[in-house]
Chains A and B, each alone.
Chain A
Amino acid sequence: SQTIHQWPATLVQPVGSPLSLECTVEGTSNPNLYWYRQAAGRGLQLLFYSVGIGQISSEVPQNLSASRPQDRQFILSSKKLLLSDSGFYLCAWSQGLATDTQYFGPGTRLTVL
């Protein structure tokens, strides 16, 4: 069966510090991968998605970047965090077809102080 992992589970970082969140998927190959952010009182916002290694699409201009160094690894990064980057970050995967279910990881709670 497939599983998706995210770490860390929680993170508190000062403004201006760098960020690296990691997501890995097990039990499948060549998945579509997604990063979402859920801010307090707001719905989920898609940040990035990837259909293959090194292929990243950005949905909104922002202070964040994403990379996919391996087939089942997706990394969310920032060089300098802003207060507005605080939120709940969720990674998800799907098998790559438009009709497929998206499966979500447990999330990372990021607080920028």
Chain B
Amino acid sequence: KQEVTQIPAALSVPEGENLVLNCSFTDSAIYNLQWFRQDPGKGLTSLLLIQSSQREQTSGRLNASLDKSSGRSTLYIAASQPGDSATYLCAVRPQTSGSRLTFGEGTQLTVNP
């Protein structure tokens, strides 16, 4: 059974700092890995999708990497801003489960002005 773990569970940083969020998964047989952002009481917003054949994806100040063989992904946020404060979730799409996603429990990020 695929399990997804995110470390740390919570993170508080000063504005302007570069930071890394970690995600690990137990079964490397995946189609892709997706990073989401969730603001309090809101739905999920897709940030980046990395296919299993890719090593990284970039969007603005965000860069996500994937090391499928070791079961790890990182989300790098450059020059963090208070508006980045949210919970960040990673999810994998296992090859054995069709189109269903398995989620981690998220990292709650607070960027202090």
A interface vs B, CB < 8 Å? 6, 32, 34, 42-44, 46, 49, 51, 59, 88, 90, 92, 94, 96-107, 109
Task: Determine if B63 is an interface residue (Cβ-Cβ < 8 Å).
Answer: no
**A residues within 8 A CB of B113?**
none
- The tally of residues in B whose CB lies under 8 Å from a CB in A reads 25
B80-113 Cβ-contact flags toward A at 8 Å (1 or 0): 0000000001010101001111011110000000
> How would residues 30 to 60 of chain B score, 1 for a CB under 8 Å from any chain A CB and 0 otherwise?
0110101000011111100101000000000
Beyond known contacts A46-B101, A92-B44: 6 more, CB 8 A cutoff = A51-B99, A90-B44, A99-B31, A104-B46, A105-B43, A107-B41
> Do A43 and B43 contact each other (CB < 8 Å), given the known contacts A98-B99, A102-B34, A102-B101?
no
Known: A44-B103, A98-B99. Is A107-B34 also a contact (CB below 8 A)? no
**Nearest 8 A-B pairs (CB), nearest first?**
A104-B44, A43-B105, A44-B103, A104-B43, A98-B31, A106-B43, A107-B43, A43-B103
Contacts of A44 in B (CB 8 A): 44, 89, 91, 101, 103
Residues of chain A lying within 8 A (CB to CB) of residue B34: 101-102
Assess whether B46 is in contact with A103, with CB atoms less than 8 Å apart: yes
Kindly provide the distance from the CB of B64 to the nearest chain A CB, expressed in whole angstroms. Answer: 13
Q: Which residues of B contact A34 (CB under 8 A)?
A: 100
Given A43-B104, A101-B34, A102-B34; A94-B99 close (CB under 8 Å): yes
Chain A proximity of B5: nearest CB distance (Å): 10
| Minimum CB distance partner of A43 in chain B | B105
Asked whether, in the complex, the Cβ of A43 is within 8 Å of the Cβ of B99, the reply is: no
